Structure 1
Amino acid sequence: MFWTPVVRWPFLFWFPSCPEHTMATPLEDVGKQVWRGALFLADYILFQWDLFQGCTVLELGAGTGLASIVAATVAQTVYCTDVGADLLAMCQRNVALNSHLTASGGGVVKVRELDWLKDDLCTDPDVLFSWSEEDISDLYNHTTILLAAEVFYDDDLTDALFKTLCRLAHKLKNSCTAILSVEKRLNFTLSHLDVTCEAYDHFRSSLYRLEKLEDCQLRFAVEPVEASFPQHLVYERIQQLELWKIFVEPVTSPIASASTAPRLFL
């Protein structure tokens, strides 16, 4: 068995219901675990809740749906996306179990399939978690925030994530901001005979390439987020946890910076 029945999250003390997750998985099922990066991102959402209020949010690689559920307590609509019918079904159950968190003043979480390796969204009505035309119109017309929590562990998937982010940014009607959480994992590699952070290094290189991308339509401005915001959830906030923000704006706008970009982050 790769995943377990409903259990309590000791580090999510304020969740009255019991979201599903697993304690250990093979690599292909990593989305079924709750990672520190997701809790770190959720803490940031709780801290900056007013900046998410009334927004349409898209989470890429949502896994158990933690960040999406937290965002939906203040956002208008959250598209909680990943791949795999069993993972998405688990995510849907977690959303249902915690629907009371969004019942008063919160928004709606829509669990949908979004495969980074495919250019188009699945619209086949016979496929579970496919997109309706109404969903797609709402996504492209209203999304202003994109989230991704600790999905940077494989170089090919990291490349696919950044390509997906670029593709979506070109289709969105509004300027948007992406918030990415990552954990810098140290591993001893035989190829280097040393402790390295290859997946993290590839992530940072991808950020650099994105910022230097010559695009006639959009400008991507990258900034780190200071990890000084309060910790509301119970987990080990290690030094290796990082948050990055990407401002995406039309090239006709002034160059995005800490002073001129929309203040989605403090």
Structure 2
Amino acid sequence: MRQMKGEGEEEDIVCLDESFFIDDNYQLTTFTFGSQVIELLCLQSASTDFDLTGQLVWPGAMLLNDYLSKNAELLQGCTVLELGSGVGITGILCSRFCSKVVLTDHNEEVLKILKKNIELHASSENSKCCSGLVAEKLEWGNSEQIGHILQTYSDGFDLILGADICFQQSSICLLFDTVEKLLRNRREGQCKFILAYVSRTKIMDSLVISEAVRCGMQINELVGTRSVVGNLEGVIFEVTLKKQDE
């Protein structure tokens, strides 16, 4: 930021630390999904900059958690990896049914609050049913970080989850490239990517479908999941790798 001076005077260069943009005034907030009550720290609105959208709970997470709470049998005993976990509301819900849940995000500031929420639930009355919660850094398309996930969790996952993670057009290619590698890491059975998608632009609607297809995947809308969330239309997609003969 430059501060302008009068004629003949020098300009002062003002360097702003990124903390200037960061709002970390988190509030303990209660969410209810069916019989499951979750308390976690989050913001009510996003910070100004530095890609901090993960500090609050977005409509797509509400859509996905509502679906999962009504279909908890999908989670029983499963291993799950969540992309773009943010404050962790979906992963924490899953941990009450799953054997292991790996929550990921790429932003260091978001990872801080994610880890705080994991600690919060590890010390709560639900700690016995919230075992197996782990946070990992994962930037889509980052081969080193993807390789770390694939090596550390070499048996793969039963489910990959994503809730309201399609914001920037430039990230969608990287998202599905990453999903494709994670889906192929499953040794036995078929891994699925469950994506809670909220429509904001028609360009993004088309891009999500085309990128899934480009990466050799089949993407299907789950019947009965299309609904209005936060005044926007949301839907849940199931994404799987196409069989070789298809």
Fold shared per TM-score above 0.5: yes
How far apart, CA to CA, are the structure 1 residues paired with 2:126 and 2:240? 27
- Give, as a single letter, the amino acid of the residue that structure 2 aligns with 1:51: L
Match of 1:201 among 203, 206, 217: 206
**2:26 alignment partner, SS class:** coil
Deviation at 1:36, TM superposition (A): 0.4
Pick the structure with greater CA Rg.
2
Residue aligning to 1:115: 139
Kindly report the root-mean-square deviation, in angstroms, between the aligned alpha carbons of the 2 structures.
Answer: 2.8
Q: Which runs of 5+ in 2 are unaligned?
A: 1-20
Q: CA deviation at 1:64?
A: 1.0
Instruction: Note the 1:26-41 alignment, pairs <5 A.
Output: 26=48, 28-41=51-64
In structure 1, C-alpha distance between the alignment counterparts of 2:61 and 2:39, rounded to whole Å = 18
Map 1:130-145 → 2, pairs under 5 A: 136-137=150-151, 139-145=153-159
Can you give the 5+ residue segments of structure 1 that lack an aligned partner in the other structure? 124-130, 187-196, 214-219, 256-266
Q: Residues of 2 paired with 1:203 and 1:101: CA distance?
A: 39
1:183 to 198, 204, 208: 198
Please name the residue that 1:70 is paired with. Answer: 93
Report the Cα offset of residue 200 of structure 1. Answer: 2.5
Aligned to 2:187: 173
Equivalent in 29, 40, 43 of residue 9 of structure 1: 29
Q: Which has more strand, going by share of residues?
A: 2
Take 2:59 and 2:129, find their aligned partners in 1: how far apart are those partners? 28
How many residue pairs match? The answer is 221
Instruction: Determine whether 1:244 maps to 2:237.
Output: yes
Q: Is the contact between residue 63 and residue 229 of structure 2 (CA under 8 Å) also seen in structure 1?
A: no
Query: Using the alignment, how far apart are the partners of 1:149 and 1:202 within structure 2?
Result: 17
Shift of 1:248: 3.1
Residue 21 of structure 1: aligned partner: 43
Q: String of CA shifts for 1:82-109, please: whole Å, max 9, x gaps.
A: 1122210100111121233653344311
Amino acid aligned to 2:106: V
Matches within 5 A, 1:208-247: 208-210=213-215, 213=216, 220-228=217-225, 236=229, 238=231, 240-247=233-240
Q: Is the 8 A contact 1:56 1:139 kept in 2?
A: no
1:20 Cα deviation from its structure 2 partner? 2.5
Distance 1:209 1:181, change over 3 A: same
SS of 1:141's equivalent in the other structure is: coil
**8 Å Cα contact 2:219-2:239 kept in structure 1:** yes
TM-score normalised by L of structure 1:
0.72
